[in-house]
Chains A and B, each alone.
Chain A
Amino acid sequence: MRKQLAEMSISELAPMLRDREVSPVEVSNSVFTRVKAFEKEINAYVEINEEKALEAAKKAEQEIFRGEYKGPLHGIPMALKDILHIKGETVSFGSKIHKYFIADQDATVVSKLKSAGVVLNGKLNMHEYAWGGTTNNPHFGPTRNPWNLEKIPGGSSGGSGAAVAADLTIASLGTDTGGSIRMPAAACGIVGLKPTHGRVSKSGCFPLSWSLDHIGPMTKTVEDAAILLEYMAGYDVNDPTCESIPVDSYTSYLTGDIKGKVIGIEQDYFFNNVDERIELLVRKAIDQMEAMGAKVEIVKIPSLKYAPYAEMMTCYGEGGTIHAKNIRERPEEYGEDVRIEMKLAQAISSTDYLQAQQVRNWMKSEFSKVFEKVDVLMAPMLPILPPNIGDQPAVNLGLFSCPANLTGLPAISIPCGFSEGLPVGLQIIGPAFEEGRVLNFAYAFEKTNPLKGKKPPFQMKVQKTI
Chain B
Amino acid sequence: MKMTVCDLLISMGVEVNEEEAMILQTRWEELQQLKMDLDQIIPNPADIALRNALTKQ
- Chain A residues packing against B (C-beta within 8 Å): 196-198, 211-212, 241, 243, 245, 305-306, 308-309, 312-313, 327-328, 331, 339-340, 343-344, 346-347, 354-355, 357-362, 364, 368, 371, 408-409, 431-434
Which residue in B12, B27, B31, B36 is a CB contact (below 8 Å) of A340? Answer: B27
Task: Please tell me which one of the listed residues A346, A359, A371 contacts residue B9 in the complex, with CB atoms under 8 A apart.
Answer: A346
The reply to whether A340 and B53 form a contact with Cβ atoms under 8 Å apart is no
Query: Are B42 and A355 closer than 8 Å at their CB atoms?
Result: yes
> Cβ of A362 and Cβ of B36 under 8 Å apart?
no
The 8 Å CB contact of A328, one of B13, B38, B39, B56, is: B13
With contact pairs A343-B24, A347-B8 given, residues A312 and B51 touching in the complex (Cβ less than 8 Å): no
Contact A408 B52, CB 8 Å, known A327-B14, A328-B14, A361-B47: yes
Chain A residues near B48 (CB-CB < 8 A): 354, 357-358
Provide the main secondary structure of the chain A interface. Answer: helix
Task: List A contacts of B38 (CB < 8 A).
Answer: 306, 309, 355, 359
The proximity string for B residues 25-57 relative to A, scoring 1 for CB distances below 8 Å and 0 otherwise, is: 001100100111011011111011111111111
Known A327-B14, A357-B49; judge A197-B42 contact (CB<8 A).
Answer: no
A197 to B20 alpha-carbon distance, docked (Å): 35
Asked if B14 and A211 sit within 8 Å, CB to CB, the answer is no
Complex: A354 Cα to B39 Cα, angstroms? 12
Would you call B15 and A331 a contact (CB within 8 A)? yes
Q: How far is the CA of A313 from the CA of B32 in the complex (A)?
A: 11
Give the interface SS of chain B, mostly helix, strand, loop or mixed. loop
Residue picked from B8, B14, B48, most chain A C-beta under 10 Å: B14
Partner of A362, one of B42, B54, B57: B42
Q: Can you spell out 16 A-B residue pairs with CB atoms less than 8 angstroms apart?
A: A198-B52, A198-B54, A211-B51, A312-B31, A312-B34, A343-B9, A347-B28, A355-B39, A355-B45, A359-B38, A360-B49, A364-B49, A364-B54, A368-B57, A409-B54, A434-B57
- Give the number of residue pairs across the A-B interface with Cβ within 8 Å: 99
Q: Are A197 and B49 in contact (CB under 8 A)?
A: no
* A409–chain B nearest beta-carbon distance, Å: 8
- A43 CB to nearest chain B CB (Å): 27
Pick the most buried of B15, B24, B34: most chain A CB atoms within 10 A of its CB. Answer: B34
B16 CB contacts on chain A under 8 angstroms = 343
Asked if residues A344 and B50 are in contact (CB atoms below 8 Å), the reply is: no
Bound complex: CA A432 to CA B16 (Å): 42
Contact pick for B27, options A243, A327, A344, CB 8 Å: A344
Residues of B within 8 A of A434 (CB): 56-57
CA distance A344 to B29 in the complex (A): 11
What A residues does B9 contact at CB under 8 A? 343, 346-347
CA distance A349 to B43 in the complex (A): 20
Q: Is the CB of B53 within 8 A of A241?
A: yes
Q: In the complex the two chains form, what is the Cα distance from A346 to B10 in whole Å?
A: 10
5 A-B pairs besides A306-B35, A347-B9, A360-B52 with CB distance below 8 A are A245-B56, A357-B48, A358-B47, A361-B44, A409-B54
State the Cβ distance, A399 to closest chain B Cβ, in Å. Answer: 11
Q: Closest CB-CB distance, A197 to chain B, in whole Å?
A: 5
**CB neighbours of A357 from chain B (8 A):** 48-50
Q: Report the Cα distance A212→B35, complex, angstroms.
A: 19
Would you call A340 and B54 a contact (CB within 8 A)? no
Docked Cα-Cα span, A347 to B51, in Å, equals: 23
Q: Which residues of A contact B42 (CB under 8 A)?
A: 355, 358-359, 362
Which residues does chain A contribute within 8 Å of B36, judged by CB atoms? 305-306, 309
Given the interface pairs A306-B36, A358-B49, A362-B42, the reply to whether A343 lies near B54 with Cβ below 8 Å is: no
A431 partner, pick from B8, B13, B43, B57, beta carbons under 8 A:
B57
Chain B residue with Cβ nearest A302: B41
- Docked Cα-Cα span, A432 to B55, in Å, equals 7
User: What is the minimal beta-carbon distance from A318 to any residue of chain B, in angstroms?
Assistant: 11
Q: Which residue in chain B gives the minimum CB-CB distance to A214? A: B52
Contact of B56 among A305, A313, A360, A432 (CB under 8 A): A432
- Closest chain B residue, CB of each to CB of A246: B56
